[in-house]
């Protein structure tokens, strides 16, 4: 069994607990990623059992999965009033700060998280770390125009190397047509400051740092689910 497969039961455990917070009539932000896929399957089951909700997907993949599971979706151009957003994370620190964007959907994920009254994050225990960024690069979404110059400014600011993300020997493009630079920071001591400073660089669209946004962290663990409130 691979490491990813061994974590599956804990991801599903966290997703199952998160779905318990969904009530009839809610507008639900639907995250992207492996843990979110468990959530979508469980939420779809509840919809088939009669739960009436509407979803706002954070990626085309999530939208397709939601439709497959029978979850009604709100049009992307509509005015949202999101009650709860459910999403995973690549890393979470003890203060509920997050790194997200491993799947490349960080821009839509942050828009949905910012619009939600409650942002519930589901992770397995391996994603909990004392310091963000030590074992996981920080995704930074940038405009293609002048991206090498943008990368130099990021590296100068952070004192760390960036690597442009590729997929199948091609530069990876987000759904918005942007590039992603993965910053190998080796540990982020002040996530709030780094997020603020990176967003001041022209060409940076958004970062994968989610600081002070999560209202509840649900952790799937061998000894059972743990909930941490902000």
Residues with catalytic function: 109
The whole-angstrom separation of Cα 225 and Cα 230 is 16
The whole-angstrom separation of Cα 87 and Cα 179 is 22
- Please state the separation of Cα 64 from the chain's center in Å: 17
Give which of 110, 47, 119, 46 is closest to 82, Cα–Cα. 119
Give which of 8, 2, 14 is closest to 224, Cα–Cα. 14
| Six token digits for residue 38 | 């468990």
Q: How many CB atoms lie within 10 A of CB 134?
A: 12
Helix (H) or strand (E) holding 136: none
The whole-angstrom separation of Cα 72 and Cα 56 is 9
Give which of 204, 30, 166 is closest to 105, Cα–Cα. 30
| Six token digits for residue 225 | 């689910």
């Amino acid at each position: 069994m691979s490491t990813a497969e061994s974590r599956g039961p804990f991801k599903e455990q966290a997703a199952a607990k998160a779905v318990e917070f969904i009530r009839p009539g809610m507008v639900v932000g639907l995250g992207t990623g492996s843990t979110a896929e468990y959530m979508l399957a469980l939420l779809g089951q509840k919809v088939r059992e009669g739960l009436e909700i509407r979803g706002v997907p954070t990626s085309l993949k999530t939208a397709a999965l939601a439709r497959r599971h029978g979850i009604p979706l709100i049009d992307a151009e509509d005015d949202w009033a999101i009650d709860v957003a459910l999403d995973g994370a690549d890393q979470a620190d003890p203060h509920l700060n997050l790194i997200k964007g491993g799947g490349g959907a960080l821009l839509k994920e942050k828009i949905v998280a910012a619009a939600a009254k409650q942002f519930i994050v589901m992770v397995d225990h391996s994603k909990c770390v004392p310091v963000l960024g030590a074992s996981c690069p920080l995704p930074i979404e940038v405009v293609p125009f002048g991206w090498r110059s943008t990368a130099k400014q990021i590296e100068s600011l952070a004192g760390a190397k960036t690597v442009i993300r590729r997929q199948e020997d091609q530069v990876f493009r987000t759904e918005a047509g942007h590039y992603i630079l993965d910053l190998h920071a080796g540990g982020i001591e002040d996530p709030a400051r780094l997020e603020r400073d990176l967003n001041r660089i022209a060409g940076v669209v958004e970062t994968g740092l989610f600081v002070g946004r999560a209202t509840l962290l649900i952790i799937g663990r061998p000894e059972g689910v743990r909930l941490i409130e902000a």
